[in-house]
Chain A
Amino acid sequence: MRALLLRDLRLALRAGGGFGLGLAFFLIVVMLVPFSVGPEAQLLQAIAPGVLWLGALLACLLSLDRLLALDLEDGSLELLLTAPLPLEGALAVKALAHWLTTGLPLVLAAPFLGVMLQLAAPGHLWLLISLALGTPALSVIGTFGAALTVGIKRGGLLLSLLVLPLYIPTLIFGAEVARRGAAGLDASTPLLMLAGLTLAVVALMPFAAAAVLRMGLR
């Protein structure tokens, strides 16, 4: 499992792996927001938590179709299927690698982009916490989506259509934590919901992902 994790990380970090693409996308989305709604600080401050969450979510989505498709192309996915390592474990590791290379940079970059969007001062910590708790769920759900569409040619758009509705609960609770935090309200209720949701999907989704991957590549 560690070998697989290291391999995925190395592949993502080296040239052509697309590391940093998600981060750049996140930056661009955040930069486009003032262009589309206007540069008034008050308006930006009001929408900042939601925009940052949405940007992180879309950046996460962007890299999903590479998650398994590249492995299918070079044949390593078949090796994983026949390997002694349970496929559930392999997919959980791949989701972890996806989070480490996509989700974690987004989490760390979000407070800086929050400054650019005039996010209220108490909001930074809550934004960091909510993204740190929520993005693993995005990666795991995304792994399920990637496993569902891996055998389909030009499945990228379909992947978005299937995965985005599944992201709704995570987005609702995550953005609510950030919004309440920024407004100085008590954010513990949505935070607990978000944590519960993330734990549940991390525990369960690798099984669903492995099931559909076996079906899809039979």
Chain B
Amino acid sequence: MSLWQYANPVKFLALSARVQPALWALAAVFTGVGLLWGFFGTPDDARQGSTVKIIYLHVPAALMAINAWFMMLVASLIWLIRRHHVSALAAKAAAPVGLVMTLIALVTGAIWGQPMWGTWWAWDPRLTSFLILFLFYLGYIALWQAVEDPDTAADLTSVLCLVGSVFAVLSRYAVQFWNQGLHQGTSIPVATGNRSVADVFFYPLVMAMLGFGLLFLALVVYRTGTEIRLRRTSALRARMNRGA
């Protein structure tokens, strides 16, 4: 038994069919409880009032926006090294989800920023980095759609993902160099453990973060299954056309 056996599409589909109901249920419970608890079960912040509640959407979405790209990077590496088709398709399936997460983070940030900072948008390093990440997602998805041969498309997008990762990190630090920030620092520094979020806000936030993580996982597993079936249909169709 090894993890690699699930690189076989049949095994992957069988496994995903088994775990998907539980995955969806867990995602729904964690996301639902986290968001509802956050929106209705926590007090207003002393200074930010009720606007603080957008944090339960903003932070988990931003977290998954970055992690989705990281997952695509790992999947691309696996495709380039071990040539497992499921891996390439998982990277393809994750990209639109990551794109939407980035968009949610940007939009919720703007909605929160308007009353709090007095502006919808500022050329702050974090905001700008996310906009750049958004562009990288767009380019990656556009390249997938532009290349006709599926294996070539997987190859090219994988390399783009690798090169893009390097440049995304570069851009992040270049942008920090270019302009000082308005955005607050991280609220939950894992390394030092000195979080600046009070417990009442922290627990629903963790629930929402877990929920978004599970939601992302469920969506990617589901979409990967769709991509595999799509690939099979086109293979069948090609065989039928050859036979006819």
**Contact present for A149 and B146 (CB under 8 Å):** yes
- Interface 1/0 per residue, B144-159 and A, CB below 8 Å: 0011000010011001
Report how far A166 CA is from B166 CA in the complex, Å. Answer: 9
Residues of A130-161 contacting chain B, CB below 8 A: 144, 148-149, 151-152, 155, 158, 161
**Contact present for B155 and A169 (CB under 8 Å):** no
B203: A residues at CB distance < 8 A: none
B175: A residues at CB distance < 8 A: 168, 172
Interface residue SS majority, chain A: helix
A148: B residues at CB distance < 8 A: 143, 156, 159-160
Do A216 and B177 contact each other (CB < 8 Å), given the known contacts A158-B142, A161-B139, A168-B171? Answer: no
**Contact present for A151 and B152 (CB under 8 Å):** yes
Residues of chain B at interface, number, CB under 8 A: 24
**Contact present for A165 and B143 (CB under 8 Å):** no
Cβ of B145 to closest chain A Cβ, rounded Å: 9
Q: Chain A interface residue count: which class?
A: 20 to 34
Interface residue SS majority, chain B: helix
Q: Which one of A29-37, A52-60, A94-102, A207-215 contacts B?
A: A207-215
Do A172 and B178 contact each other (CB < 8 Å), given the known contacts A166-B163, A215-B156? Answer: yes
B171: A residues at CB distance < 8 A: 165, 168-169, 172
Cβ of A202 to closest chain B Cβ, rounded Å: 14
Cross-interface CB contact of A176 among B164, B167, B178, cutoff 8 Å: B178
**Contact present for A190 and B152 (CB under 8 Å):** no
Report how far A168 CA is from B146 CA in the complex, Å. Answer: 23
- Does B170 lie at the interface of the complex (its beta carbon under 8 Å from any beta carbon of A)? yes
Instruction: Give the residue name and chain of the A residue nearest to B163 (CB).
Output: A208
Residues of B103-145 contacting chain A, CB below 8 A: 132, 135-136, 138-139, 142-143
- Does A126 lie at the interface of the complex (its beta carbon under 8 Å from any beta carbon of B)? no
**Contact present for A152 and B147 (CB under 8 Å):** yes
Cross-interface CB contact of B174 among A149, A164, A169, A216, cutoff 8 Å: A169
A193: B residues at CB distance < 8 A: 174, 177
Cβ of B150 to closest chain A Cβ, rounded Å: 13
Interface residues in chain B, defined as those with a beta carbon under 8 Å from any beta carbon in chain A: 132, 135-136, 138-139, 142-143, 146-147, 152, 155-156, 159-160, 162-164, 167, 170-171, 174-175, 177-178
Interface residues in chain A, defined as those with a beta carbon under 8 Å from any beta carbon in chain B: 144, 148-149, 151-152, 155, 158, 161-162, 164-166, 168-169, 172-173, 176, 190, 193, 197, 208, 211-212, 215-216, 218
Of the A-B pairs whose beta carbons lie under 8 Å apart in the complex, a sample of 15, sorted by A's number, is A144-B163, A148-B159, A149-B143, A158-B139, A161-B135, A162-B160, A165-B135, A165-B136, A168-B132, A168-B174, A172-B178, A173-B177, A176-B178, A208-B159, A218-B152
